[in-house]
């Protein structure tokens, strides 16, 4: 997919905004470390260095504009003055402003996982563990996995494999407090990024 110049422009704008704030003082609130004049921000299994000069991958790899936007928004969005949010696990659909993106999210996450891993539960677990996923104990699901999109944004995948009566079913849960750290578009992108890493 060819990304529009507007997307790249947005990334540049966010870096400028980061340079205009005391972003280093956000380290504790974001659950990240300071490294010199940068923040070390993990996004799933990759660490990124964020500074006023720009964004770079700790391993030197190329960073897609979508990832740049997600990482920058994680640094920019949180404010200690944000209103408190009840802390519970919710589906993406339950977020107040998710409406326009629900179809996109479902098609590119749950439905993709269901079609890819139906009858392949062990493969899903193996791929999840390879990118830092943790298997949770569950009496309800065949496989329950926890990842961290960002340190303050855990992501749960609950998966029931197909059986004689029902097809495979996947659901993704976020903490309701995720809205304090990312907007709905970026939150949806954390789901599609995770799905892409798994399939």
Tens-binned pLDDT, residue by residue, of the chain (199 aa): 344 566 667 888 999 999 999 999 999 999 999 999 999 999 999 999 999 999 999 988 899 999 999 999 999 999 888 877 888 999 999 999 999 999 999 999 999 999 999 999 999 999 999 999 999 999 999 999 999 999 999 999 999 999 989 999 999 999 999 999 999 999 999 999 999 999 9
CA 157 vs CA 26, 154, 171, 175: distances in Å = 28, 10, 6, 12
What is the C-alpha separation between 96 and 37, in angstroms, rounded?
A: 36
Residue 73 lies in a domain: yes
Residue 176 lies in a domain: yes
Neighbouring-strand partners of residue 170: 159
Residue 107 lies in a domain: yes
What is the C-alpha separation between 50 and 29, in angstroms, rounded?
A: 15
Whether residues 105 and 166 fall in one domain: yes
Whether residues 66 and 162 fall in one domain: no
Stated pTM of the model? 0.92
Q: What is the pLDDT of residue 9?
A: 77
Q: What is the pLDDT of residue 4?
A: 55
Whether residues 63 and 114 fall in one domain: no
Residue 143 lies in a domain: yes
Number of domains forming the structure of the chain:
2
Domain span at residue 21 reads 5-77
Whether residues 63 and 154 fall in one domain: no
Last residue of a domain, one of 77, 106, 125: 77
Whether residues 50 and 93 fall in one domain: no
Whether residues 35 and 60 fall in one domain: yes
CB 32 within 8 A of CB 151: yes
Q: What is the pLDDT of residue 1?
A: 37
Under DSSP, the state recorded for 98 is -
Whether residues 97 and 193 fall in one domain: yes
Q: What is the pLDDT of residue 61?
A: 86
| Sheet containing 33-35: order of strands | 33-35, 38-43, 46-51, 54-57
Last residue of a domain, one of 48, 77, 106: 77
CA angle at 116 for the pair 66 and 123, rounded to the nearest 5°: 100
Last residue of a domain, one of 47, 77, 107: 77
Residue 83 lies in a domain: no
């Amino acid at each position: 997919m060819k990304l529009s110049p507007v997307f790249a422009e947005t990334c540049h704008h966010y870096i400028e905004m980061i340079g205009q704030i005391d972003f280093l003082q956000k380290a504790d609130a974001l659950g990240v470390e300071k490294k010199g004049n940068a923040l070390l921000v993990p996004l799933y299994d990759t660490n990124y260095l964020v500074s006023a000069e720009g964004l770079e991958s700790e391993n030197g790899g190329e960073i897609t504009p979508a990832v740049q936007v997600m990482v920058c928004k994680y640094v920019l969005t949180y404010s200690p003055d944000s209103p408190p949010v009840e802390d519970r696990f919710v589906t993406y659909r339950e977020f107040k402003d998710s409406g326009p993106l629900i179809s996109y999210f479902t098609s590119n996450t749950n439905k993709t996982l269901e079609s890819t891993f139906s009858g392949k539960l062990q493969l899903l677990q193996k791929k999840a563990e390879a990118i830092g996923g943790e298997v949770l104990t569950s009496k309800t699901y065949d496989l329950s996995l926890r990842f961290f999109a960002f340190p303050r944004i855990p992501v749960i995948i609950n998966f029931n494999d197909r059986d004689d009566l029902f097809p495979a079913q996947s659901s993704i849960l976020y903490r309701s407090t995720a809205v304090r750290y990312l907007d709905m578009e970026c939150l949806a992108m954390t789901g599609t990024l995770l799905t892409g890493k798994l399939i």
